[in-house]
Amino acid sequence: MELFLLAALVVIAAWMLKSRDQRRRVALLAGYLSSYQIEKHMETLTQGYLRALGAGDPERSEPIWSMLRSTEQELCSQFRRFAADFSRAGEAETRVSKLPFYVPFATRLFPGNSFDARQAVAIHARGITLAAQGDGHSSSKDMAYTMTAELFLMQHTCHWFCKSKTVASARMLALHQTPYAQLVASVDPGTRDAYCALVRGRG
């Protein structure tokens, strides 16, 4: 009985630590994002891409693509500014555990098995900007596909920072019906290489 009670107390304490830490992370990220309309621009782009791709006729789709270009540029500008702001946060606040599930004090107990979210945000800022610029040879459809992957992977990182990798991946499936591995495979190779080196490497 005493062992059961002790186990219950440990579980409750871990849950309280988890809730407090996640609230802190959500508040930290929200505080930096509050000055921008990044989520609104993401929604405009993803819905606009679907309309353009569904139009079929180039004469009908081209005005949609043209309209979306200004939204892409505004999103890139805002996200670069957000990345610059977020880079000034303290490292102790922005470390993210690579463990698939939440462990109290994981970034302190296992610092080598964590990464800095500020670096991840900087990688996403470069990837989103490159996707908007294109390579001069890709079609609008290919650019939209890459941009969508870049945005969804960035969103995954935000969920990972606030919760855990497992929760982030589950949300990507629920929100976008897209597995995490597919997101990583679909972004620009430069983004993928830098991102994988950060979240899969040591330190």
Q: Mean pLDDT throughout 71-87?
A: 97
pLDDT category, 41, cuts 50, 70, 90?
very high
**DSSP 3-state assignment of 30?**
helix
Into how many domains does the chain fold? 1
Give the residue numbers spanning the domain of 51: 2-200
Q: Would you put residue 82 in left (φ > 0), alpha (ψ -120 to 50) or beta?
A: alpha
pLDDT category, 61, cuts 50, 70, 90?
confident
Residues above pLDDT 70, as percent of the chain: 90
Residue with tokens 């945000």: 121
Q: Residue 53: CA atoms inside 13 Å, Cβ hemisphere, count?
A: 14
pLDDT digits (tens, 9 = 90+) for 92-129: 999 999 988 887 778 888 888 999 999 999 999 999 99
36-64 burial string, b = 16+ CB within 10 Å, else e?
bebeebbebbeebbeebeeeeeeeebeeb
pLDDT category, 203, cuts 50, 70, 90?
very low
Q: Which of 201, 202, 200 minimizes the C-alpha distance to 181?
A: 200
Residue with tokens 């990507």: 172
Residues above pLDDT 90, as percent of the chain: 66
Residue with tokens 């819905």: 47
The CA angle 80-84-88, to the nearest 5 degrees, is: 160
Q: Please say whether the beta carbons of 151 and 42 come within 8 A.
A: yes
pLDDT category, 7, cuts 50, 70, 90?
low
Residue with tokens 């690579």: 98
